Structure 1
Amino acid sequence: MRILTDSPQHYGRHQSFLKQKYRLRAAVFGGRLEWDVSVTDGEDQYDDLKPTYVLTITEGGLVAGCVRLLAGSLSAERLSFEQVCSAGYRSIPHNDGAPIRSAA
């Protein structure tokens, strides 16, 4: 596996990985976790803030995981923090049976 960082000025270089990332996030957050997330063309409202993405890429060229890093702003931080705290924490079974800790 390898790690790829993708900042806004380089989004165009990694379109294939970004498209995979959007599909992966939709499957996890909208599908498996059933979060109420508004998505347009694979992106949600936080993608509009031009974050830097950290992607985990398999040897076969597939996105296996991702993290979105946002610049700090009071309104975005407050909304995210309140959403996480109001939802609480729970364990989510992973494909191999080991629980993943998640805010949901």
Structure 2
Amino acid sequence: MTTKNFKIKADEFVDLVPQMGGCFATDKITVDGLRVGYMYREEPDEKMDSGWRFFSGTEDQEYVNDPNNTMIYNVNTIANYDRAIIPYLDLPFGTELERIENTDKFKIITE
């Protein structure tokens, strides 16, 4: 496994959201520094799981399928990468959102 060169260093994080558990995020956000473009919340796998999953929206299926491209983080960590997610973090399980292009707003995806 290679060492990841994260865009934000550990000592640069600030507390932006209350403790709500872990989430999954791709390296497109934490290493490449892209903004969150797509996020969804599923029923948690365990007690310490918030259910949130964060993607830049540029990942293809091959990228997502490679476990080396995704890690578990504290939700606050991803909020430090992209503060635009903060107003949506209390939405219920089953919520799916995509960023409205060129804004800090997300819209709920309904199918």
TM-score (normalizing by structure 2): 0.26
Q: Which protein is bigger by CA-based radius of gyration? A: 1
Decide which structure has greater helix share.
1
Say which structure, 1 or 2, has more relative contact order (CA 8 Å, 6+ apart): 2
